[in-house]
Amino acid sequence: MHPVIRLIRLMTRKTKLAVMIIISIVILESASTIASPKIVELIINQVFYERKIEVLIPLLLIAVGIAVGKALFLFTQRFLNAYVAQNVVYIIRNKLYSRIQRQSIDFFDRIETGQLISRGTSDMNAIKRLMSNGFRIFLSAISLYIGIFVMIGLSNWVLLLIAIGSAVFLFLIMYSYTRRSRPLFRSIQNKFGDLNSVLSENIRAARVVRAFAAEQIEITKFEQENESYYLLSLKRAKLRSLMNVVFPFVLSFGSFLLLLIGGKEVILGNLQVGTLVAINSYLLLLRVPTRNMTYAIINYQEGVAAMNRIYEIIDMEKKIKNKPGAIDLPPLKGKITYKNVTFAYREGEEPVLRNVSLKISPGETVAFLGTTGSGKSTIVSLVPRFYDPQEGAVLVDDYDVRDVTVESLRKQIALVQQEAFLFARTIRENIAFGKPDATDEEIIRAAKIAQAHDFIMAMPDGYNTAVGERGETLSGGQKQRLTIARALLLDCPILIMDDSSSALDFETEHQFQRAIKELIKNRTTLIVTQRLSTIKHATKIVVMNKGKIVEQGTHTELMKKGGLYKYLYETQLLTQVEPLTPNEVVKEIVENKKRRTKKKKQKGGKTK
């Protein structure tokens, strides 16, 4: 279906009514424009040549009335056009945002952020221009063309052929322009999206860029993308300039022929001077609808390209969706089963998980350990169904996650990710993100368990403190503790912690470990971690390598096997020397002082 037709179908009844009124007003406005040369013709022929002075005042009053009416028509149609444009963009923007929100995680793996921002900003503006300007001036151009040809034809059919010939040349030029501009406009919009991607990525990675002194490299990268966009824009400007030069030339040549042939007709007495002046005015008036048609085509090409880009996102199939007949998941006990699971992020790529099978009992705490790229983060992401395996199945309480509704599944899983993301809202709103109706007591309890309450209360506005974009006003450890509190508030039967303690400093980590027993109590917990302090709480340790489970068991059992776990433990985990907290340091100093005092007394007693 053509994007413009889809756009019309999106309109409300009120908006469609406004469009019908606009069409009527455009026709009336065009008629008033066509009437002006006719008034001049009557004044010249009847007043100047036939000496009918009595008709001068009425004709002038009609001319003034036409001018006032035209002004009112222009005001009304532009206002209604703005209303239609804003209404359509409002609907499409909501539809686009809603579609993005409902997409699967793999969608964000494939589409760059800058491209999405471009669709929500520059592409929306292109649609707005089409509906506010392009639509109106296109209708005006068509109405003027019809009116001009009718008026010239009623006066002299030979001169009508000159006008039609001029119009044909103009249409051929526009057709050539359209064919060349359509792919160009799409390329420009895509390149603008690439430019946005580079810019947004660089802003997010500001610390990394400066840490590696890579400012000049990033500047060069941006300048290259900007130069490509600049060259494409120049190409567009060249096309537009060519159109602006060719049109007046064609019209001037047509006017020359018209005056040459029309002048002979006046001399022969076959045509009145006023009529020739009016016909020449109509011919020159062709510049208005032709120029309007050019801009309408430009707006049309940009608007259609923008709509295609937006509908590309709206129409993109959602990979993770409820299958027909999916049921709501009943309250879970927490049993998780992986049955011969094989998974790759993209078709044709090397699998990240290979024929993985694993059983996790309700209330069990399982730590996933392995080398980088072993698949430990991927395996836990299949439980909330962020992705579906190509082979095998993932079950919760013996329900295949694909047989239940996605919402009912995820509402029973709390997730703490490695990247501690916070919204630009208050601390209270961030903690209660998954449970907006949470009471203050529930929020504070979750914050206390996550060891966040003390630093929150130390802030000027406490729980009402705004954290800024992505929580930039907080430290890494503080952000991570708030995301932990956010997950705790949900009190779900399944908890997934993907290296969630990685951003905690050692003192906070020590405090966090005190609460971890309550954190994992009465729930199934999946932990992806490399920290020995976290692994020691696990009832089962799963060791992964190259997408396979190579070992599983308790710490003691795995150490006896002498396999990969023992190697990782001795080379990586055992080297994690965690310093004492300040209180423990003071306690240790006091104990050391007591031991030294005791030794001195013992030595003094022996000397005597």
Average pLDDT over residues 444-470: 85
- Which strands make up the sheet holding 524-528, listed edge to edge? 413-416, 494-498, 524-528, 365-370, 540-545, 548-553
Q: Which residues contact 23 (CB under 8 A, 6 or more apart)?
A: 139
Contact 138, 221 (CB under 8 A): no
Question: Is residue 514 pLDDT above 80, yes or no?
Answer: no
Average pLDDT over residues 343-372: 89
| Alpha carbon distance 200, 598 (integer Å) | 64
Instruction: Give the model's confidence band at 511: pLDDT under 50 very low, under 70 low, under 90 confident, else very high.
Output: low
Query: In this predicted structure, what is the pLDDT of residue 585?
Result: 45
Domains of the chain: 3-314 (1.20.1560.10)
Query: In this predicted structure, what is the pLDDT of residue 582?
Result: 46
Task: For the chain, give the mean pLDDT.
Answer: 82
Question: Is residue 530 pLDDT above 90, yes or no?
Answer: no
299 phi/psi in degrees, rounded to 5: -65, -35
571 alpha-carbon distance from chain centroid = 44
Weakest-pLDDT range from 257-266, 288-297, 536-545, 577-586? 577-586
Instruction: Give the model's confidence band at 341: pLDDT under 50 very low, under 70 low, under 90 confident, else very high.
Output: very high
Position with higher pLDDT, 532 vs 30: 30
Query: In this predicted structure, what is the pLDDT of residue 401?
Result: 93
Average pLDDT over residues 58-78: 89
Contact 16, 93 (CB under 8 A): no
Which residues make beta-bridge pairs with 338?
A: 358, 394
Instruction: Kindly report, residue by residue over 561-592, the tens digit of the pLDDT.
Output: 888 888 888 776 555 544 444 454 445 455 55
Question: Would you state the structure tokens that stand for residue 242, as one six-digit string?
Answer: 């060519």
Instruction: Kindly report, residue by residue over 182-221, the tens digit of the pLDDT.
Output: 778 778 877 887 887 788 777 777 767 776 677 888 888 8
Question: With b meaning 16 or more CB within 10 Å and e meaning fewer, what string describes 239-270?
Answer: beeebeebbeebbeebbebbbebbeebbeeee
Q: Which amino acid is at 302?
A: E
Position with higher pLDDT, 542 vs 498: 542
Q: Which amino acid is at 105?
A: I
Question: Is residue 502 pLDDT above 70, yes or no?
Answer: no
Question: Is residue 482 pLDDT above 90, yes or no?
Answer: no
Contact 570, 564 (CB under 8 A): no
Instruction: Give the model's confidence band at 532: pLDDT under 50 very low, under 70 low, under 90 confident, else very high.
Output: low
Query: In this predicted structure, what is the pLDDT of residue 358?
Result: 93
| Alpha carbon distance 279, 156 (integer Å) | 9
Query: In this predicted structure, what is the pLDDT of residue 578?
Result: 47
| Alpha carbon distance 198, 235 (integer Å) | 23
Question: With b meaning 16 or more CB within 10 Å and e meaning fewer, what string describes 551-567?
Answer: bbeebeebeeeeebbbe
Name which of 387, 397, 407 is nearest 341 in CA terms. 387
Three-state DSSP state, 524: strand
